[in-house]
A and B are shown apart, each in its own frame.
Chain A
């Protein structure tokens, strides 16, 4: 089908694991896209997915994969839009098989689904491997490792596109690489076209967090207003042959694309603007030009690139026990004083009565919590919530903490109510750098 104005059109259909689906369907339907990317993996997400896979070898992929594929496959197949996603998480093969089964159930014949593997390097990294940005080596972790995933780049994805895949499913595919790969394939860019790879990586970087460039994570009422965030649209990149692009969104969708939304995303999770490292390129965003064209259209150009890093980043996830959280609220006159008293009681009880030595933090939400360590003084409030958080390898300790906070209802200050408590499994992650030769991506095509 005609995609319009000669540019290569890429849309985002998810910018994180729990992102919205209905605007993705709207974009797939009306966006005239060549490619839709669903970026659904964070460092912790992949570790949690490994835990899921250990519990059930048929799981370990994004929990929303089935819903997303069921809604997007028919629309994207009809529109001729290729889906690229890292929703495979810790189990791309199971995700691919599930997607194939969904396509069959929906009666869509001839869907080519590529499964990219090889990012799981468990067992391949030596125990003497030093960590990337902190002291210590792999052997120091001393707790069960749940997964090790190398970041795969565009070169792992391109073979799937060359094979004519309609859907590409991988695990730890690097976020911007999922955008760069189809641009390289479409425009015939080579690994030596450093400026173009830098430009394409900029587009991927701007797009990968979905609505963070169309008005999400941006609004500050009265100062930075964003229209209709409840119906915010996902972004579209119209990419030219030199890698410059216009970032926009669907007409009629909520949100906003302007110079300010693009600037904030330009350096999101970037350290040195002149050295943004991906498996594909050392991208340079320091001289990027932005041109606000109005009507939710911003032109981006002048990213550059230098040779890609020699080594690939690997994220290692390991068991970190549980995070326990519990709270009780106080409202009305003297709420702050009563909350403070409750905090003192809990602190004493956890130490003296239960001998808990694991790290505990006690906050008064409404008075001072997020900025407590920053040293900000809390405001007087007539509505505060005691919040107690504990990390421990011992579930028994977590249960004791919840019990102790709940006991405040009868044994604590006056007027305390609304106890809630939760215990959730925790993972920790560390990173190492490995030689590229250690990582061997594979691509297998499944057909319905």
Chain B
């Protein structure tokens, strides 16, 4: 894990990298930790339930999380998550290419109480 200043919030981007892809109205984001030691933290922090909870208006369908244990990665498949998909969305980013950074911006569940 990268060093952070005392009061800085730790986010997924501090321990992992990610890429987003689209098919129709389904977005998938794969997330990979840099250091295998952080994989448990990633799995604890980025769950299907949490994605639904964090982005209720964007992610309207089911979320499935595939775990690629030996490569230390997750694949998040988010249905009805592209505002209609590339053909129908009015979002400037109609492919949801930037959705990887939605995931990378999530706070990590480090178990510490925050004020």
* Chain A residues proximal to chain B, CB less than 8 Å: 43-44, 133, 217-218, 220, 223-224, 260, 263-273, 286-290, 320, 359-361, 363, 365, 369-376, 387, 389-391, 426-429, 431
Within 8 A of A (CB), among B1-44: 13, 17-19, 21-24, 26, 28, 30, 32, 34
> Complex formed: what's the CA distance from A321 to B15 in Å?
44
CB–CB B66/A44 < 8 A: no
* Chain B residues proximal to chain A, CB less than 8 Å: 13, 17-19, 21-24, 26, 28, 30, 32, 34, 54-58, 64, 66, 68, 70-71, 73, 75, 77, 83, 86-88, 90-93, 97-98, 102, 105
Interface of B is mostly: mixed
CB–CB B55/A375 < 8 A: yes
CB–CB B55/A273 < 8 A: no
CB–CB B30/A266 < 8 A: yes
CB–CB A267/B75 < 8 A: yes
> Complex formed: what's the CA distance from A427 to B87 in Å?
7
CB–CB A271/B32 < 8 A: no
| 9 A-B contact pairs sorted by A residue (CB < 8 Å) | A43-B86, A133-B24, A224-B17, A268-B19, A269-B28, A272-B66, A320-B88, A371-B98, A431-B24
> Complex formed: what's the CA distance from A287 to B69 in Å?
9
> Complex formed: what's the CA distance from A431 to B87 in Å?
13
Q: Which residues of B contact A360 (CB under 8 A)?
A: 90
A264 to chain B, nearest CB (A): 4
CB–CB A373/B32 < 8 A: no
Beyond A265-B19, A426-B87: 13 further Cβ-contacts under 8 Å? Answer: A217-B19, A217-B97, A223-B13, A263-B30, A263-B73, A267-B75, A271-B64, A271-B77, A286-B68, A359-B90, A370-B92, A372-B91, A374-B54
CB–CB B87/A429 < 8 A: yes
CB–CB B102/A373 < 8 A: no
Q: Which residues of A contact B77 (CB under 8 A)?
A: 271-272
Task: Evaluate whether A374 and B58 lie within 8 angstroms (CB atoms) in the complex, with A265-B19, A267-B75, A290-B71 already known.
Answer: yes
Q: Which of B22, B23, B54, B71 contacts A263 (CB 8 A)?
A: B71
> Complex formed: what's the CA distance from A380 to B26 in Å?
31
> Complex formed: what's the CA distance from A205 to B111 in Å?
38
CB–CB A271/B58 < 8 A: no
CB–CB A391/B66 < 8 A: no
> Complex formed: what's the CA distance from A372 to B96 in Å?
12
> Complex formed: what's the CA distance from A269 to B91 in Å?
19
CB–CB B73/A320 < 8 A: no
